[in-house]
Each structure stands twice: as structure tokens, then as C-alpha cells.
Chains A and B, each alone.
Chain A
């Protein structure tokens, strides 16, 4: 797990740099959590299955396939839009088409930089697909990323990274859920034998 934590750290480091360049502000990043979690508890990481989240989803293709989510609260999304694009969003959880498109693009940039550093580090090809955006219940959104796991078991590997932009408190989380058969590949690429139980 330490190796994956390191991988998550490096990915998040690059994404944090990308975000701080976008915002022209220093960004802090919390040490990522790497956990094997039951499905039920994954949504708890973002406030429970009914919490409303803003999620950018990318399917990762290549040698190390998986699902990548960038998740924010709608509030954080509004702050990000304001700071980045000068867009003032009204109260409530709805975003218009242009706002959604801007958020999707921001998520795409962050996820892309996260992914490319992971790919560099592991020397495994990881290609992002076109991002999808959803603003909905966390359970409904994240459930989609667990389908590959659904075929294997009831737990999923989660690499969870949190961002914090100092006083503005723009917070976001990366959830990387590698496909079950991908672990071995990632470990092997890092030169660490995968322990079998």
C-alpha cells in the first residue's frame, strides 16, 4: 500500500501544481489515503451516498485501466468557477451548460495531469477518455466507477487525495479506482512483488 500511496502522492503533486498554475495561488495537498474499502464506505469519503457532489469522471484506458473521479462539493465548484473564470454562480446546486462545460474542462486538466504523472512514474500507458460531468448523489455517481469491481468482489481499491487552496478553501478529491486486474501491473511496474494471501 505504501507504494500506491507514493504513486498517489506524485500524481496529486502534479495536479496540485497544475491547479496552482491555473489559479496562480499556492495549493496544499493532503497526503493521499490508499485503502481497500467496501463499496458502501466509498461514498462515505465524500459525505455519504446522498451527499450532492460535482464529479468529473474519466475512464482510464491503456496498460493500467481504471476509473478516475475528480470530486468537489457544488460550493467548491462555484468558488473555482469564480476564481478561474470570473463566473458568478447563483445559489443552489444547479449549473448551466456553460458552467458545466467550464467545470468539466477544469476537471479534465487536473485529472489529465494527475494521470500523466502516474503514467510517467509507473511507465504504464494510461490514456484518459473524454470526461463526463455529473452533479448528483455521491452514491449514484461513484457506483458507476465500481462496476468493474462488482464482477470481482465487494471491495475497491481507492486512492484518495484531497486539495486545499489556503484561505479560499477550494477543496477537491481524486478517486482513482484501478480495475481489479490492474493492481498486479502497477506493482510490477514499480518493481514491488504483489503479495498474495
Chain B
């Protein structure tokens, strides 16, 4: 053979442009499907971009969607650092939202400050507990965290159905499922007349803390060590199980915070479809950012735009699931791209 593909295992770092190329190729692939379905892909994409970034309303909506993506993506990134594949952010977000709503049901007359503080504590604690339910089976029983965390997503979703159809259903809700609407004291402050809430600050603060913790603390050093070589870390006396539990607590807690921010800042009541799959999208957000904090900010805004853009194509008769399809395709090209760049074409046998 005159030409040969050779795998170069020394190339560990992938070039900076692979995420960009992956996104571009995913757009092309989906364009083909859209075209085959009898629509003009240029119209569809420009509609999506205009919907997400074209107006000031679109931009604030995109940022509103970026908040839970950033929080969940950050949590997922922390766990992925030591190869703990948490895909349960969706469920952790939902239980966070349920727990925050519990505060409004059982302590209805707190002042604004105490109400929000208690909702924060409950939301984070519930998410962290849900993360613990994934961590303990893994560390003590050797159960694959992918299965556990995903099963718990369905359990959380059913729990949401139970409270919104059952005990917490709003008596003044015209028989629609959902909790009573939150009071002003139970709602996060928003920016002016937009829906952009203070959760954005929570998320950005969390990003800075993540960066500082990973970069400058002993804990962050140990995480990086486990991520680079688990066996070496074990020989160095690092308790990997303890780290698994800690990262799952953080991962779940951040998703729980996202859930609290969603109910308190956006929907102002607990209801069906509190998350259009934020927990799943956040997996791609974290991977596309290569677990890098600044990258996480960029990718969560990008994917927030993808969700808003997905909604905006509904006006031309397309389902919003088109954005999910794009997300899956992006992930495919991303993992392929990570590996393709490690091959080299060589001449000769």
C-alpha cells in the first residue's frame, strides 16, 4: 500500500479547532436531513440564529437558558475530571426544583431574604443527595454510575409528576398540574423588564470558584492527578472513593442549584417540563468546552441559543427537537474529531 493511516498515540492534546469543525460538520449533516425533509436549511438556520441572538429579547432568553446549562455543565465537568460519568444532572435539577418548592409550600410566610436562602439550601442539598444516591452504589457496590444516575432521572421525573398532579396542585390552577405561583418574596430578582435573573451571578461565581479550586488547591491537584492516572493516584495514597463521593455531591448540588434557580427565577412555580433536557444538553456543553471554565461559559451560551433557536423554528412548522438532533450530531463529530486528529497519513508500507 502506498498510503497508510497510522495512529499516533503520542498526540494526546487535540487541536483547538476540533470543536469548531465538529459543530460545522454537525450543521452540515443536519442540513442534509432538513433538505431531505423538504425544507430549506438556510432558512431554518437563519431563523434559529435570528431567534436566539437577533433581538435583545432573544439574547436575554438565550442567557436565561444558559444559566442552568452552565451550572449543570460545571457539575458534570467536575465529575468528568476523574472519569465519573454523571448523566443524572437532569434528575438532580428536578429534585432541586422540587425541594426549593417545598420551602414555598411549608414555609409560605418567610421574608424575602430567609425564603430565598432556605430555598437555596434545600435545592442544593436535594441535588447533592441525589448525586450521593449515584455515588454510594458506585463506591461501595461497584455499580456503574451511568445506569444509576439515569434511572434516578426517571424517578425524579415521576416524583415531579406526583407532586404537581397530587398534593401540591394549585387549587386555583383550573385543574392544571403545577404548584401555586410563588410570591415575590419567593422569586429571584430579575434584571429590569427581562426574564434574566440573578442566577446568572450564581453561575458565574461558581465558574470562578471552579477555576480557582482546580488550579490552586490541593483538592484540585488531587483531582487532576486522578484524572491523569488513577493507578498512580491510588499508589500515591489518594482516596479515590472519597473523591468520587465529593465530586458527585458537588455535581448534584450545582444541578440542584440550577433547579432552584429555574423555579424561583424563571417559571415561578413547579410544573411539568421544568427542564427541556438541560441535564442532557449540559453533558455536551461540558465536553465541547473540554472541561475548561471559560469554554463552559462560551458553550453554554451557544447551546442556550440552540434551545431558543429550536423553539423559534416552531413558527415555520418544524419541531423544536431539531435542536436535540443537532446536539447529538455535534457530540458525534466531537468524539470522532478528538480521535481523527490523532491519525497521521504516512507514505509507504
Chain B associates with chain A: no
**Residues in chain B within 8 A of chain A (CB atoms):** none
**Residues in chain A within 8 A of chain B (CB atoms):** none
